[in-house]
Amino acid sequence: MNYLHAIYHFIRHLLQSKKGGHGVHSPFVYQLIKEVIDNTDQYYVFEDIESLRAKLLLTEQEIIVEDLGAGSRTTKKNKRTIRSIAKAALKPKKQAQLLFRLGNHFQPEVAIELGTSFGLSSLYLSQWGEKNKLITIEGCHNIAKVAQLNFQKLNAKNITSVIGEFSQQLPIALKQLDKVDLVYFDGNHTEDATIGYFEQCLPYTTNESIFIFDDIYWSKGMTKAWKKIKINKRVKVTIDLFHFGLVFFRNEQTKEDFTVYH
Ligand SMILES: C[S@@+](CC[C@H](N)C(=O)[O-])C[C@H]1O[C@@H](n2cnc3c(N)ncnc32)[C@H](O)[C@@H]1O
């Protein structure tokens, strides 16, 4: 992470972002802020998922991690404790619970997640329902195995865990689908890779699809990727939440970009 870049943009975000829907004239975005982004309702499954997080944060067991880096072909391997990975890689509770609320609100039938890690965001993204389907892709075998155990613990039968490089597994996953309703991009944070995944998923979108980009201010490259995505002519509404960039394709909307406090 480029900390200077992230801090600069965080301060800008605090100064520019709209709170509580004030000054937002789009009814679609206003409703989203009120009902989803600012919503603080708790669901039973939140406790179950957070208790998995608490266990991971106490697990001193070491695993061999294949560091896929920036999509590099030369995989670095090193030993890390489950605890340290959980601390560094998982989306914090507040942001992860927004993924649940977005799912619950838009009810995507078919979703893809790039970057499973230990599966907490996968659970938040999918456990608002039973008939919806989530395909989640993770390149590190030992990390994915921990996620698969977590899915079993919560009996999350609607998640398909795929192990492999995004560049190989994303096209395979997409080929099996007619459309994709939601994609959560949370791994391999480089400009080229992010744009590449975005362009691969684009032909599978419908009017109602949502893309969620993680860490859009993680580096200059990620911020450049976010800017390119915003100006893509297929993209209509974008919402910058600092930690996430939300993308909507709704043809009925005029092209507009919002900066919203979360
Ligand atoms: C930030 S973590 C995902 C965190 C998870 N979504 C959560 O919040 O609970 C990103 C994951 O993507 C995986 N990853 C990164 N680059 C990858 C690539 N090119 N192919 C496959 N997996 C990759 C990493 O191994 C890592 O576990």
Whichever domain contains 160, its CATH number is 3.40.50.150
The number of domains in the chain is 1
Is the pTM higher than 0.85? The answer reads yes
Q: What is the pLDDT of residues 181-234, one digit of tens each?
A: 999 999 999 999 999 999 999 999 999 999 999 999 999 999 999 999 999 999
Q: What was the pLDDT predicted at 68?
A: 77
Residue 226 maps to a domain? yes
Q: Which atom of ligand 1 is nearest to the CA of 193?
A: 19
Ligand 1: which of 49, 163, 186, 216 to mutate, judged by most atoms within 8 Å of the beta carbon? Answer: 186
Does the pLDDT value for residue 70 go beyond 70?
no
Residue 84 maps to a domain? no
Query: Atom 14 (ligand 1): residue with closest C-alpha?
Result: 187
Residue 40 maps to a domain? yes
Q: Which atom of ligand 1 is nearest to the CA of 188?
A: 16
Q: Which atom of ligand 1 is nearest to the CA of 143?
A: 27
The alpha carbon of 114 and the centre of ligand 1 are apart by a number of angstroms equal to 7
Q: What was the pLDDT predicted at 74?
A: 46
Q: What is the 3 state secondary structure string of the chain?
A: CCHHHHHHHHHHHHHHCECCCCCCCCHHHHHHHHHHHCCCCCCHHHHHHHHHHHHHCCCCCEEEEEECCCCCCCCEEEEEEHHHHHHHHCCCHHHHHHHHHHHHHHCCCEEEEECCCCCHHHHHHHCCCCCCEEEEEECCHHHHHHHHHHHHHCCCCCEEEEECCHHHHHHHHHHCCCCCCEEEECCCCCHHHHHHHHHHHHHHCCCCCEEEEECCCCCHHHHHHHHHHHHCCCCCEEEECCCEEEEECCCCCCCEEEEECC
Q: What is the pLDDT of residues 198-210, one digit of tens each?
A: 999 999 999 999 9
The alpha carbon of 256 and the centre of ligand 1 are apart by a number of angstroms equal to 30
The alpha carbon of 88 and the centre of ligand 1 are apart by a number of angstroms equal to 11
Q: Which atom of ligand 1 is nearest to the CA of 69?
A: 16
Residue 63 maps to a domain? no
Residue 81 maps to a domain? no
Residue 70 maps to a domain? no
Residue 137 maps to a domain? yes
Q: What was the pLDDT predicted at 71?
A: 41
Residue 167 maps to a domain? yes
Q: Residues lining ligand 1, judged by CB closer than 6 Å?
A: 68, 71, 89-91, 115, 117, 120-121, 138-140, 143, 165-166, 186-188
Q: What was the pLDDT predicted at 53?
A: 98
**Which residues constitute the domain of residue 146?**
3-58+89-259
